[in-house]
Structure 1
Amino acid sequence: MLMPIDQPDLLSIVFRVGVALAVWWGIAGSLIAEDYQEGFEGPDTSWMVDRGAAPVAVHRHERSADAALIRTGRQAESVSVQTQPDSSVVCRLVHPLPPTVRMDETQVAVWVWSDHPGVSVSVRVRFPRQLNPRTSKPLVVSITGDQHRGGGQYQRLAVKLDDREFASSMRRVRDVAQRQLGIRNVNDQGAYLDQITIHLTEEARTWNLALDDLELRPVVTPPDLETGQDTESYAGSRIRIGDDRILLDHQPLFPLFMPYHGEQPPVLASSLCNVIWVPDYLDQELLQKCAEAGLGVMATPPQPDFARESPDDTGLAPFGANTDPVLLWMLDARIPADQVEHAATWAEMVRDADRHRERPILADVMANEREFHRSVDFLGVSRSILHSSVTPQTYLETLEQRRRLSLPGKPMFTLIPTEPSPEWLNTRFAGATVPVVEPEQIWMLANAALAAGYKGLGYLTYQSLEGNAVGVEERRRAIEIQNFRIRLIEPWLATGKVLLTLPVQVGPSSVTREGKKLSPLASRWDVRPLADDQSPEAQAASKIRATALECDQGLIILVNWLDQESQYQPGAMNANDVYLLLNRNIVHAWELTTTSLREHTLEVTPVAGGTQIRLKQFDQSAVILISKDQLAEEVIRKRVEQYRPVASKAWAGLARAKLSRVRAVHEELVSLVPREFKVAHAERFLRQASYYVDQCEKALLADRLTEVEQHAVSAMLNLRHLQSAYWSQAVAPLTSPVASPHAICFQTLPDHWRMANALQGEIQTAKSESTTPVVVNESQNLLPSGEFESLKGLLDAGWHRESFQEGPLVSRAELLEPGRSGRSCLHLSVATKGASKLLATTFDEPSVRMTSPPLAVVAGQLVKIRGQVRIMKSMQQTRDGLVITDSLLGPSGSLRFQNSTSGGGWQPFELIREVPQDGEFQVTIELFGLGAASLDSLQISTIDLATP
């Protein structure tokens, strides 16, 4: 196993007798080999007692002339120590050796007298040309040898280092180094030993030891030490990845990257991204500009020709010095699960071409994470949930699950969507409003990834950040502010590991339980929240997720509001008096914002079981720091002072840009929204937001930078109140927000109401009159056999049935009696065979699928899909359940039914889709997880529209 040895910044691989590392070293004939012997004569001791963290009392440490303790000569070194119980090694005696190259002839041993068994010996081996990615220093390992039998006698303790023993364990060493440090191939060239250690193990006792006749032969000084060569010059890449962390030039790095779309590098640098994903790694002008702006470069390497039978036969040409600005190689994004072999071949070819620089390889994949992770250094897992029926909670759970499915000890990243998915953009009518991703949604997804322990973020953009389209300014400012948050605590996040999820409560504590008063000594945490508590405080607490990360510098607590519908339109996401319970005793904690590090906004109270932390005010997210020492706190304060002037300008710009956009949409909605769907207090929300934006800009001019952020946050809160109110009114009659192509976000609500009014047969006047479409004709039901009365009729009509049998699962697609209106309905079910039991896993792939026959549709039409769904019992072991997907929008527009329908009865659903071009239209019905669902009365019709 890899474990620390004599220095806190070194790692060792400790093995028993016969386990060693394989190194081949050619020794020039001109080198002169000598022997080293130490008889421990003279007055001064030379062994060092290393107590480590264990309570050890040294009773005696001297050169002794006691004949009973001498093996040869006139003296021996005598040690008497008192140890206490510990987990493993409780004390060590360390002695330096002259640095010597490990060879087949190498012998090292020491004679030890001990009155107890449990004494062992090891030697330290250094690999000068292999960096430990965690310490950025040469890798150090420890090879263990003989163990003493005790009995008050001398015994020769040796470590075998001959070629046979050394070579036999190389495979195991590489495996350990790869799993725990991310080192794919240990560079053992020039390995040498320089220290011998005596380990005291077993239970608490007084140890009496004598050491005599230390011998090492032959001694051959490593050439690197003779010439003074810098051993770290063999590092190759500036970036090192291992132990779930990334180092750039020996400093912790949290990669923040985005694709290049023609922006000027200084603009990209102002976003605080530290890596730019360029389209062409040979574009020397762009690479140079990025370097001048202080930006790292990520590029896609040449791809092999996989059409060839053996694409790796030809290989890739070696990368030259012209690629030195490239820090990372990115294979691709959203690589399908079945492309593991292709990705492995590609990665290996890149490594062969990059052997002199050894730059890390990245890939973003859809599934099969562990197999992909074996081939790449930095794995990406991404999910696009915005404007879909997948909730933020599900998003976080998916990231956590995929993290567990990957290789331990290797970091992961995710791609954050900052613009609508291509499916929502490509299926809109010409001239339709383009959806906008809200700044709060970018922050929500990024913060969820941080809480899941991801060590890098990529911001997916499809257009330049220098554009002037609606929402671009907000997008740029949102990315900038999120990166400020991360860069402030970059060393913390880069070294952090997920520790635990904290209990959360909101608002006043319950003072009674089962009608009885609580003890005055009890805290709010002694009352278990009721499962059916529907109070606003309980509902708010259920949406707040607090995660603790343990870092080299201390603890981070990331608090995030994950609302059920924030993937469409974020709500208020605001609460006062949020309480967290940390199972540790702390005295101080600080809340970090982009403009301040403050303690007064928190209240820290010791309670039974740990420490209660009260957030007096909470808006969307919070970062709480608990540092190990004052130095870490001072470093953060200096970073805040450095970034706060620029961060304040970003907040002011963001608040002003969002106010302008929301006001424009509001002015459109005033004339479009029917009277019964009008939003009360809309003008008041706008006035309040405008007031705070003005205060924000005044504070910026007065250099009151903390107030700038506070006023901007208040302005955006009022705007979210207004947006959420409009959106909630619009989606209230719908099966789901994805039922309408224009109800997926606030920005497109004017188009939603134009379409809804047209479907209701209403023609708007005034401003909207010229653009409001009119229904000309609605067809009859075009879908054959949608009543599911005959299995033969289904198949004859062109329905396609697929069943994916896996392991102990049995899946069925059948007709079941009775139906909702007719004789039968379509019934999908997945169950286990017999008494088979499944592990508590989540099924991410469907077990059964039905696909409708294709129907011809014409550009400019609307397609209406209607049907009835029944789920008697909520689906198990899935985040999806019954999924209904159309061929126009694909998974982005899927309807999901996971919980039981009301009373186990039938529930109607309806979808409206726009047809951007002539083609075919199909509906796919899938079942995920364990359980059953029924479908009936499925109808598809087309609607012809005209604009007056």
Structure 2
Amino acid sequence: MFRTLISSVFGRFPKGNPVIGVLLFVFAANVAFCQQPNPVVIDSMDEKTPSRLSLVDFEDGELKWSAESEVLRSVVIDSRHTDLGPHSGTGCEQRIFESNRILLDQRLEMRLVPSYVFDELKTSVWVRTDCQNVRFMLQIRFPNQIDPRTKEILSIDLPGTVYSKSGQWQQLVCSTSDEEVRNRIIRARGQLAGLLSGGTIDTREAYVDQIALVFDVPVGGSVLQIDTLRHGPIVTPENLIETPEAADIYQPRLTVTDDRVMKDDRPFFPVFTLYHGESLKEVESTGVNMLWIEDYADRAILEALDQMGIGAIAQPPQPTTEDAILHRQGIPTFESWTEPIWAWMFGFAIPEDDVRYLQGWSNQVRGADRKFRRPILADVVGQERSFHRQVDFLGSSRFAIHSDLPVADHVEILKRSRNAALPGKPMFTFVQTEALSTYAGKNREPDASPIVEPEQILHQGYAALAAGYKGIGFWKQIPLDQQTVGLDERIHAIRLFALHCRILEPWLATGRVVDDLIVRTNDSFPQQTASLLSPLKTRWDQPIDAAGGKPLGSDSEIRASVFRCDDGFLILPVWYEKDEQFVPGAQAVKGIRMLLRADVMQAWEVTPTGITQSNLELSRVPGGTEIHLKEFDQQTAIVVTSKPAAIEEIRRACRTYRTDAAQSTVAMAAQKFERVSNVHAELVEIAPPIADAELVLKYAYQNLENARKALAAGHDADAYAAARRTLRNLRVLQRRYWESAVQELPVATASLDATGFQTLPQHWQTMRELEDRTSTTQNLLSSGDFDNQADVQQDWLEDSSGNGLQLVELNYDAASQRTFLRMQSANQGGNFFALTGPGIPVAAGDLVVVSARIRYAPTQQDIGNELVIYDTTVGLHGATHLRKASEDWQQVEFMRKIDEDREFRIRLELRGSGVADIDDLKVRRLE
């Protein structure tokens, strides 16, 4: 339209004087498109403000844009600030070109106020031109990455809007959204394939400092006008590298980028734990490849770990809140002796309110660590995306062992946390290896302390892998060498997991979850096949449950995650058994099947002791390939590849680690056999009898003897298989004892000693004690009937973590002619609205029973919506969670045995969005 109008008014450009022709062109554009000046607003230009908007209105007469190439400069016949037809204000910047040939992909550039790359950063500029193929670009610089082609700091262009309104003002926009940046980095990695060390780009501290207009100059005269540039919000980079030299760039031992972790330019899967003063040889025996130490300045430990090839994780110096947020004082530069530290750890379960503090802290650490540029780790609670912008390797952990959180829900929470973080950046999680201190309590005999079963440790690790986590930390507070029943088993569980991860390291480190498969057992597998009426019908067709609106069979306890890896597919089937967080059952079956949506010629099962095809059968079916595992026990790994070199690499790793894996499995089975036998002997005296208990123990012992013989003969795979059969026998017996203990309880957490096998003797002792205490006190919670509003207001304290609608009131129920407490909340994202009751004095040895009538209605069925009731002596880990809607009143009860003199309080938490009615809340002491 721009050219059409010019041609219609003035005809073609005068051939004799191109300058006059172009000036007439601009004048006509001004007549046709002149607008009223718009107000110019600058949000903030304070250089000390961490987040601000930069606005350039091109009113000062200074030329901001420059031509990159000599070719473009040679055809520019006029560069000026002009008042002819600006988009806003009184002027704009203008270039006039005259060329006798088409010039492709010419470039004008302009420097910007530098800003870190993050999701909300946006840059826009107004353009009017008759040049062709005009594109707007942002230049992203990676100060920690050398471009192998130029030996300088790598920079890439991020494309924005393409100009499409020839002759009219159009706003061109480019934003550094997470998705756009990630996709651009993937393309850049492909362009540099074979040149990059390790095949990855180090994206840490990436920033924007320049924009560009790329366009084609047509034959003859043409004009380009630029006006009103906005850029922000700006987060100023701490370290700008103006003239980098490749020799100055130290290659860090560990890098985190592009949804993977690399060590020495090879894919790396971190498996780590915490140091509590035990022998480093004991730590080495677990197979971990990193260790979180308390003091980063402990040179003796750093040197020892370096000699072992174990990387140190340490917390850097921590500034005060004022120093971190206000940048008052920096951290001194880290010296060369800190090189054995591979990564920095900011902490565990960092609350969501600390985002701003952590941002300042991370900036200070990066400033002090300019040479080594080590990645920063942090385990957080909420605000994952905000935290992830500040750290390289984000952690999200929640412990479910001995709680009423189902393992299937636990893994969904892990997936939600991963999805809430930045896409394309890896995450880690901690695995619980010991009972929490609030659950373990005090004054227990060592043999009576609760433990986390080794199978529970392994299950948490594999569930986290299946959820897509790229690092596993084993959380502990008790040293590895402390002599406590059951804790030696955790060493072998950690070791088994670590060895399996080493074998699968290239697959785990490079894989991305692309699918979740429904897994069916042979017994539950439908037999329908194609027919004349339905020639394409297969037994994998998914009939829909009309009531639930989901495919039948999708509630299977066995699920399989599919990873797309550099060398093929990795499939991780995992058994998510109901109530496994209390006591795992057999979790073994003859035959499972799954449908992989791909054509597969060969697949291999990979265990810690070998790689085999003997347990696998593949069948081509409509829609993909059916994979049949003839035997399945808890979890396994399947690799699918067409690369012989990848299989040979796995074979070499298996040969290296199979003897260690077999030895650990046999030792773990022997230790567990002794422990279960001892608890069994106690339960025989106090608990109801379990049918065939002695026979199950006999089978377990026979399998253990077979495992020992196979190990002595050097048959590692056979020893591993026999030891696993021993563990399976023991799980069967443990589960039967547990089911007998909880069958009369409303929920397992009603008696904390019933939430694990090791403490079942104490549970039955408490049950006998209950029989001796025949009377109860009156309700020790005087306001628990919720009849008196003044008492409720005086006794109960409100608090919350959200800002949605929150309401608490007393309502009247006409049917029962009683008043009840109503809590209502419209919080989002798992935020809570809570009431905490008054303190009730209790003494050591007291048996306290809590009961209430509750009616709960979540806004929708969701993991984040629930009503939680618990006592403050045990805490949230021993809470009762109500997640399903109930129109009728339901009874909630639990019992606590008090271990020391203290105050006992009840806490009600309404999480997410919903309505909860509470009545007849009683706290009574058994006399």
Name the TM tier (shorter chain): 0.7 to 0.9
Partner of 2:203: 183
Q: After superposition, what is the alpha-carbon deviation per residue over 1:418-469, rounded to whole angstroms, capped at 9, x for unaligned?
A: 0011211245657782101011111111111111111111101112222321
1:304 is paired with a residue whose SS is coil
Pick closer, same or farther for the CA change 1:873–1:810 going to 2, 3 Å.
Answer: closer
Alignment of 1:562 with 2:576, yes or no, is yes
CA distance in 2, matches of 1:719, 1:334: 34
Alignment of 1:682 with 2:693, yes or no, is yes
Amino acid aligned to 1:865: V
CA distance in 2, matches of 1:127, 1:406: 23
Report the alpha carbon displacement of residue 603 of structure 1 after superposing the two structures with TM: 1.3
Structure 1 residue runs without a partner (length 5+): 1-33, 37-70, 73-92, 95-101, 105-116, 150-167, 192-196, 200-228, 762-774, 833-841
CA distance in 2, matches of 1:172, 1:930: 30
Amino acid aligned to 2:410: Y
Alignment of 1:272 with 2:259, yes or no, is no
Partner of 1:668: 682
Partner of 1:542: 556
CA distance in 2, matches of 1:279, 1:138: 37
Report the alpha carbon displacement of residue 311 of structure 1 after superposing the two structures with TM: 6.3
Alignment of 1:931 with 2:914, yes or no, is yes
CA distance in 2, matches of 1:198, 1:586: 47
Partner of 2:408: 393
Aligned-pair RMSD on alpha carbons?
4.1
Report the alpha carbon displacement of residue 299 of structure 1 after superposing the two structures with TM: 0.6
Pick closer, same or farther for the CA change 1:462–1:819 going to 2, 3 Å.
Answer: farther
CA distance in 2, matches of 1:466, 1:135: 52
Alignment of 1:911 with 2:906, yes or no, is no
Matching of residues 235-274 of structure 1 within 5 Å: 235-274=250-289
Amino acid aligned to 2:730: L
Indicate which of 358, 365, 381 corresponds to 2:373.
358
Alignment of 1:338 with 2:324, yes or no, is no
Indicate which of 696, 711, 719 corresponds to 1:700.
711
Pick closer, same or farther for the CA change 1:709–1:141 going to 2, 3 Å.
Answer: same
Partner of 1:781: 779
Pick closer, same or farther for the CA change 1:140–1:803 going to 2, 3 Å.
Answer: closer
Contact 2:142 2:202 in 1 (8 A): no
Amino acid aligned to 1:702: A
Pick closer, same or farther for the CA change 1:173–1:518 going to 2, 3 Å.
Answer: closer
CA distance in 2, matches of 1:481, 1:136: 45
Contact 1:121 1:198 in 2 (8 A): yes
Report the alpha carbon displacement of residue 878 of structure 1 after superposing the two structures with TM: 3.6
Q: After superposition, what is the alpha-carbon deviation per residue over 1:735-766, rounded to whole angstroms, capped at 9, x for unaligned?
A: 211111211100000000001111012xxxxx
Q: After superposition, what is the alpha-carbon deviation per residue over 1:147-170, rounded to whole angstroms, capped at 9, x for unaligned?
A: xx9xxxxxxxxxxxxxxxxxx999
Name which of structure 1's ranges 299-308 and 474-483 shifts more when overlaid on structure 2: 299-308
Structure 2 residue runs without a partner (length 5+): 1-68, 72-99, 112-130, 164-172, 186-200, 217-243
Partner of 2:540: 525
Alignment of 1:729 with 2:726, yes or no, is no
CA distance in 1, matches of 2:317, 2:538: 61
Amino acid aligned to 1:788: F
Indicate which of 711, 717, 726 corresponds to 1:715.
726
Report the alpha carbon displacement of residue 777 of structure 1 after superposing the two structures with TM: 6.8
Contact 1:301 1:329 in 2 (8 A): yes
CA distance in 2, matches of 1:867, 1:893: 16
Pick closer, same or farther for the CA change 1:141–1:340 going to 2, 3 Å.
Answer: closer
Contact 1:281 1:300 in 2 (8 A): yes
Report the alpha carbon displacement of residue 312 of structure 1 after superposing the two structures with TM: 3.3
Indicate which of 868, 883, 899 corresponds to 2:884.
899
Amino acid aligned to 1:299: A
2:404 is paired with a residue whose SS is coil
Q: After superposition, what is the alpha-carbon deviation per residue over 1:534-554, rounded to whole angstroms, capped at 9, x for unaligned?
A: xxx988961111110111111
Amino acid aligned to 1:578: I
CA distance in 2, matches of 1:924, 1:179: 49
CA distance in 2, matches of 1:619, 1:424: 29
Partner of 2:396: 381
Amino acid aligned to 2:895: I
CA distance in 2, matches of 1:178, 1:545: 30
Amino acid aligned to 1:686: L
2:636 is paired with a residue whose SS is strand
2:631 is paired with a residue whose SS is strand
Alignment of 1:817 with 2:810, yes or no, is no
Indicate which of 463, 472, 475 corresponds to 2:490.
475
Amino acid aligned to 2:756: C
Alignment of 1:598 with 2:622, yes or no, is no
Partner of 1:790: 788
1:621 is paired with a residue whose SS is coil
Report the alpha carbon displacement of residue 270 of structure 1 after superposing the two structures with TM: 2.5
Indicate which of 853, 865, 869 corresponds to 2:850.
865
Partner of 1:644: 658
1:584 is paired with a residue whose SS is coil
Partner of 2:122: none
Q: After superposition, what is the alpha-carbon deviation per residue over 1:446-504, rounded to whole angstroms, capped at 9, x for unaligned?
A: 11111111111110111222232111210000000011111111111111111011122
The percent identity for this pair of structures is: 34
Pick closer, same or farther for the CA change 1:518–1:578 going to 2, 3 Å.
Answer: farther
Partner of 2:221: none
TM-score scaled by structure 1?
0.72
2:590 is paired with a residue whose SS is strand
Amino acid aligned to 2:838: P
CA distance in 1, matches of 2:825, 2:70: 73
Amino acid aligned to 2:763: H
TM-score scaled by structure 2?
0.74
Contact 2:141 2:156 in 1 (8 A): no
Alignment of 1:941 with 2:924, yes or no, is yes
Matching of residues 359-508 of structure 1 within 5 Å: 359-426=374-441, 433-508=448-523
Partner of 2:9: none
Report the alpha carbon displacement of residue 135 of structure 1 after superposing the two structures with TM: 13
Pick closer, same or farther for the CA change 1:787–1:142 going to 2, 3 Å.
Answer: closer
Indicate which of 730, 753, 767 corresponds to 2:764.
753
Contact 1:801 1:813 in 2 (8 A): no
2:462 is paired with a residue whose SS is helix
Report the alpha carbon displacement of residue 410 of structure 1 after superposing the two structures with TM: 1.4
Partner of 2:45: none
Pick closer, same or farther for the CA change 1:780–1:325 going to 2, 3 Å.
Answer: same
CA distance in 1, matches of 2:651, 2:245: 36
1:403 is paired with a residue whose SS is helix
Q: After superposition, what is the alpha-carbon deviation per residue over 1:351-394, rounded to whole angstroms, capped at 9, x for unaligned?
A: 11111111111111111111111111111101011111111111
Partner of 2:34: none
Contact 2:141 2:207 in 1 (8 A): yes
Matching of residues 295-310 of structure 1 within 5 Å: 295-306=310-321
Report the alpha carbon displacement of residue 520 of structure 1 after superposing the two structures with TM: 7.4
1:745 is paired with a residue whose SS is coil
2:301 is paired with a residue whose SS is helix
CA distance in 1, matches of 2:506, 2:905: 50
Aligned residues: 751
CA distance in 1, matches of 2:542, 2:606: 30
CA distance in 1, matches of 2:607, 2:329: 53
Indicate which of 619, 623, 626 corresponds to 1:609.
623
Alignment of 1:510 with 2:526, yes or no, is yes
Report the alpha carbon displacement of residue 678 of structure 1 after superposing the two structures with TM: 2.0
Q: After superposition, what is the alpha-carbon deviation per residue over 1:903-931, rounded to whole angstroms, capped at 9, x for unaligned?
A: x4332222111222222111111222343
Pick closer, same or farther for the CA change 1:142–1:319 going to 2, 3 Å.
Answer: closer
CA distance in 2, matches of 1:794, 1:373: 42
CA distance in 2, matches of 1:174, 1:401: 18
Contact 1:378 1:413 in 2 (8 A): yes
Contact 1:330 1:363 in 2 (8 A): yes
Amino acid aligned to 2:771: Q
Q: After superposition, what is the alpha-carbon deviation per residue over 1:30-85, rounded to whole angstroms, capped at 9, x for unaligned?
A: xxxx999xxxxxxxxxxxxxxxxxxxxxxxxxxxxxxxxxx99xxxxxxxxxxxxx
Contact 1:182 1:410 in 2 (8 A): no
Pick closer, same or farther for the CA change 1:811–1:551 going to 2, 3 Å.
Answer: farther
Q: After superposition, what is the alpha-carbon deviation per residue over 1:65-120, rounded to whole angstroms, capped at 9, x for unaligned?
A: xxxxxx99xxxxxxxxxxxxxxxxxxxx99xxxxxxx999xxxxxxxxxxxx9999
